[in-house]
Amino acid sequence: MKIGFAKPELPKKGALVVGVMEDRKFGAVAADLDLRTGGALTRALEASRFTGKAHKTLLILAPYGVDASRILLYGMGKPEDMAPGWAEEMGGNVYAALAGSGDTEATIWLEAAEGKSEALAIAAAHAGYGALLRSYRFDKYRTKEKADDKPTLKKLTVLVEQASTAKKLFADLEAVAEGVFLTRDVVSEPGNIIYPETLAAVAEGLSELGVEVQVLGQKEMKKLGMGALLGVAQGSVREPKMVIMQWKGAPKSKEPPLAFIGKGVTFDTGGISIKPAGGMEEMKWDMGGSGTVIGLMKALAGRKAKANVIGIVGLVENMPDGNAQRPGDIVTSMSGQTIEVINTDAEGRLVLADCLWYCQDRFKPRFMIDLATLTGAIIVALGHEHAGMFTGDDGLADQLSACGREMGETVWRMPLGDAYDKELNTDSADMKNVGGRPGGSVTAAMFLKRFTNDVPWVHLDIAGVAWAYKDKPIVPKGASGFGVRLLDRLVAAHYES
Ligand code: BES
Ligand code: MN
Ligand code: ZN
């Protein structure tokens, strides 16, 4: 969808969106429209339960006296509510309300409560951003959808006095949206289309934006001793890949780089510890962590973030075959630590073990943040509302919690501790790859911690949030792209020069 900004003027066609404040209070725009339409707004309000409460809407069709095809009254609540996140939600809801209306164009007329025009330009940019994020659709394989069932809305213009300011602000937001869309695209793709080689190729595409991309194949990883990752991959005919992306947006900086690491299991059957058939198709999105890291690198490069950032993704397919790893196999990770593979379905941690070790060894980063659809247990604990956050670093935890609330991509801190770590001990090797059922997400995190070499580290278990099971204001049902906006914000707010 095309998003534009212009100075306030009544549109000649399409849908018009105007705000109404709480207690049915009209601002100047709504009052003027009410006059032009012979009181259509007042009568519609009287005939409905719409009172201007935040994010409620009322649609008025083909009102006499204006060129617009329809007027969507949008509940502004109390005017001081218009924070960026609020405006995003508004944009998303407006898109959803009008997407299938038949109109191809819509216009949102934003007006300030008391001449706060700078804040209004920010709100306008974010309203456009919210609408853009909500307009995402993964429909490339739907060849028979009727034209009547497809969204019609193609263009949204936000009217605001400082239109050129809004437009400038929107450029960076649009770059982040492109990162989110890339994540949603690769996470939506099925396992026969996205597998290690093809996902690595997507990452290589980022070189167009100035990201340096390096791809390790099986041979290189073998040489590096990545036995944990390779053990997972050995049951698949698809060759595993590790992709190292570098964005050098602060070439003069002496600070060590920031590092983001993603689990990229392009399909997780469970391996020999095979999963039940019901719902297994969902495991096409077990590369969600890597999808987020790739989308994040695109966002950062797209908006030319002034930071040096490493993205590393471990890409494998977890399959059962005659060559697959067996329960009880013992593998040696790049760190030298040996792992008894009790359950081949606890594969994500094996992949990440070698990614984390490689990352700290090669880059000595300021911190490592990994993202992984790691455990079903985190869904039991937190549902689909928060990602699980595991870290010993209170500063990073606070930064991520705050950014999460701002972005509507919330994280909830979970514990770490020696008592959990002990669950990983085994007589046969340095550790086993599963604890018990209790605290399954925590023992998984403790496993990862053993490969961080005490570099500041955060693990985000995104198993519950990588896929949206229902529409949300700025996230349509499907691959959510969770983490791109959160981590882009973390970088922008705290780590850019
Ligand atoms: N990819 C799964 C975790 C998962 C489950 C993600 C459901 C999204 C939705 C992971 O590889 C896995 O299979 N974890 C096991 C670990 C167990 C064997 C210790 C799990 O959670 O059951
Ligand atoms: Mn698994
Ligand atoms: Zn998995």
Give me the mean pLDDT over the 394-399 stretch.
Answer: 98
Q: What is the pLDDT of residues 236-248, one digit of tens each?
A: 999 999 999 999 9
Report, as an integer, the average pLDDT of 243-254: 98
Q: What is the pLDDT of residue 418?
A: 98
Predicted confidence (pLDDT) at residue 402 exceeds the cutoff of 90: yes
pLDDT at 115 over 90: no
Which ligand is in closest contact with the Cα of 271? Answer: 2
The protein residue whose alpha carbon is closest to atom 8 in ligand 1 is: 463
Q: Let me know: does 235 contact 318? Beta carbons within 8 Å.
A: yes
- In this model, does residue 144 exceed pLDDT 80? yes
| Cβ of 434 less than 6 Å from ligand 1 | yes
Per the prediction, the chain carries an average pLDDT of 97
Q: Is 231 in the pocket of ligand 1 (CB under 6 A)?
A: no
Report the share of the chain in percent with pLDDT over 70: 99
Ligand 3 center to 418 CA (angstroms): 24
Residue 17 sits at φ, ψ, to 5 deg, of: -110, 125
In ligand 1, which atom is closest to the CA atom of 373? 6
- Looking at residue 117, what is its pLDDT? 74
For the segment 156-200, what is each residue's pLDDT rounded down to a tens digit? 999 999 999 999 999 999 999 999 999 999 999 999 999 999 999
Please name the amino acid found at residue 461. Answer: D
Q: Which atom of ligand 1 is nearest to the CA of 270?
A: 13
What confidence tier does 134 reach under pLDDT thresholds 50, 70, 90? very high
Which of 319, 341, 375, 482 maximizes ligand 1 atoms within 8 Å of its Cβ, making it the mutation to test the pocket? 375
Model confidence band, residue 118 (pLDDT cutoffs 50, 70, 90): confident
| In the predicted structure, residue 112 carries a pLDDT above the cut 90 | no
At how many degrees (to 10) do helices 196-204 and 288-302 cross?
10
The encoded tokens of residue 408 equal: 């509507």
Region 175-494: CATH code: 3.40.630.10
Please name which ligand lies nearest the alpha carbon of 265: 3
CB 55 within 8 A of CB 93: yes
CB of 212 closer than 8 Å to CB of 246: yes
pLDDT of 127 over the 70 cut: yes
The rounded distance, in Å, linking the Cα atoms of 42 and 270 is 60
Span 203-221, average pLDDT: 98
Which of the four CATH numbers 3.40.220.10, 3.10.129.10, 1.10.760.10, 2.140.10.10 does domain 2-160 have?
A: 3.40.220.10
Task: Tell me the ligand closest to 466's alpha carbon.
Answer: 1
What residue segments make up the domains of the chain, in order of their start? 2-160, 175-494
257 Cβ contact partners less than 8 Å away, ≥ 6 residues apart: 246, 308, 309, 310, 363, 365, 366
Q: 17 near 66, Cβ under 8 Å?
A: no
Convert the pLDDT of each residue in 346-382 to its tens digit.
999 999 999 999 999 999 999 999 999 999 999 999 9
41-45's contacts with Cβ under 8 Å and 24+ in sequence apart are 41/71, 41/73, 44/73, 45/20, 45/73
Q: Indicate the pLDDT class of residue 81, thresholds 50, 70 and 90.
A: low
pLDDT for the residue 178: 98
Ligand 1 midpoint to CA 348 (Å): 8
